[in-house]
Amino acid sequence: MDCVIKRLVFLVLCFVLFQVRRCLPDSLTVNAIHDDGPCMDHTKSYALERYNPVKIGYVRTIDLGSFGQRRMITRALKPPIFEIPDFLTEDECDFIMKQAVKQGLKSSIAKGGLSPKLMPILPENVTGKLPPNEIGGRFEDWDQNNDDVIDILEMMKFAKNKHLLFLSKDDILEMIEKLNISAAKDEHITKMEFEDANILGIDSYFYKLHRLHPKHKDRYSEQTWVKFGRTANKTMTRILKRVMKLTNLSSYLVYGCEEMQVVRYQPFGHYHAHFDSETHTRQNVPCCHQVHPDQRCKICRYITVLYYLNDNYKGGETAFPVADNITLDLESIQNREERDIFNLNEFCHAANFIVKAKKRGTAIMWYNHDIDYWNGGWLGDLDGHSLHGGCMVTEGEKWIANSWLPAPYYYNSDLRSMFLNRFEGSATAPMENED
Ligand code: OGA
Ligand code: FE2
């Protein structure tokens, strides 16, 4: 009898331990590809909805109201990524692109913590030495093989290690020419020459290349925001209602979404891998969608819906470098010296999952965050697997649009989204049960 009780206690303990492990945050369960259960109690209702991806290639039919039914295909499990062909009509794609052109597009700024912020004043034609306590200030920082000269290859390595730049030999020669580094005209800088060479000029040249050059920037595209809301065109209202059907989120959350961001990439256009949500870099500030625009905040985007508005370009794939990784150690991928998987100009095709929409109007949808099932099912931890970006466009122009659906953490779940204000005073605010 005693033995039976012991066994029972042991089994119960195992079960509890198993549950706890499955529900621990990602950083502790890096080996697990988990679905919604068993932390999710199917008898309870949760604030945020989420499709079970089931398996890669799984096809379900979704009902998009008066727009009809569409196929939704699972493309990845972690994060769950779905493809929905024909989510927008060609006319809708045209409308969005035209609207963006009418409004005017402006140069985009990279988000998602790719590199430290741009200095307010860019170094302009500076010359001189770098202080010895700064990387690059000492000869040894450059001379990797200790042969007492810095050659072109070592300059390329320095540019990569310190400035995350992938430069060719010709790029370095161009730099030597432009900055008129006479010591390096023979393609070497000796230890003696280093003392008087314009190392500060070289370092700030690299800094500027990373921040300003179309090929080397973290993001090279132009964008504008096309509005939803009271004054919006009917097309936008129709799309918003369709997004509600697609995501199954409450109208309160969907109508509180951000405006539609329309993005145009010219040749060389790209957006290195990033997170759409900023919750990992700014933990102690409120979510942007819940505060006034001038307040310090972080972007809390639960879902991204990305629309492909055209298809007549080359390159420009959307890449998810670590989707479905069995193990994911975000800290080790941040070490970009070894293998810079963030740089999608170099590593686009090394990504675990790549999308290239065959036909305009296709949408993809994914979850940037887990759900906090312990606390009513509000926004959970950022899912590190959702790292993604746009590879370089090699020919033509690429047009996409983003709908971001922010969600609150449980402790702020009673704070409404500021974006709901756009429907205020509106007799035509989209109703929950309309489609
Ligand atoms: C973005 C983005 C990917 C792409 O705009 O945030 O990730 O394929 N874009 O353009
Ligand atoms: Fe993105």
DSSP one-letter code for 268: T
Contacts (Cβ under 8 Å, ≥6 apart) of 261? 223, 224, 225, 401, 402, 404
Q: Distance from the CA of 310 to the center of ligand 2, in angstroms?
A: 17
Q: Residue 375 has what pLDDT?
A: 94
Token digits for 244?
């509600």
The C-alpha angle 17, 19, 20, rounded to 5 degrees, equals 65
Instruction: Pick the residue whose CA is nearest to atom 5 on ligand 1.
Output: 402
DSSP one-letter code for 358: S
330 φ, ψ (degrees, to nearest 5): -60, -30
Atom of ligand 1 nearest to the CA of 261: 5
Cα 418 → chain centroid: 23
Q: Distance from the CA of 271 to the center of ligand 1, in angstroms?
A: 6
In this prediction, the residues of the chain whose per-residue pLDDT falls under 50 are: 20-35, 428, 432-435
Q: Residue 24 has what pLDDT?
A: 43
d(CA 301, CA 111): 13
pLDDT in tens, 297-320: 999 999 999 999 999 999 999 999
Q: How far is CA 363 from CA 41, 90, 197, 324, 342, in A?
A: 30, 12, 53, 20, 23
Q: Where are the beta strands (DSSP E) in 85-152?
A: 106-107, 149-151
Contact of 286 with 409, CB cutoff 8 Å: no
Q: Residue 35 has what pLDDT?
A: 46
Token digits for 369?
């965050």
d(CA 111, CA 276): 7
Token digits for 53?
């991806």
Contact of 344 with 64, CB cutoff 8 Å: no
Q: Residue 279 has what pLDDT?
A: 78
Q: Distance from the CA of 114 to the center of ligand 2, in angstroms?
A: 12
d(CA 246, CA 363): 10
Its pTM stands at: 0.88
Q: Ligand 1: which of 345, 402, 403, 404 to mutate, judged by most atoms within 8 Å of the beta carbon?
A: 402
Q: Residue 86 has what pLDDT?
A: 98
d(CA 140, CA 15): 56
- Residues in contact with ligand 1 by the CB-under-6-Å rule are 263, 271, 276, 318, 388-390, 400, 402
Q: Distance from the CA of 389 to the center of ligand 2, in angstroms?
A: 6
Contact of 185 with 178, CB cutoff 8 Å: no
Q: Residue 141 has what pLDDT?
A: 97
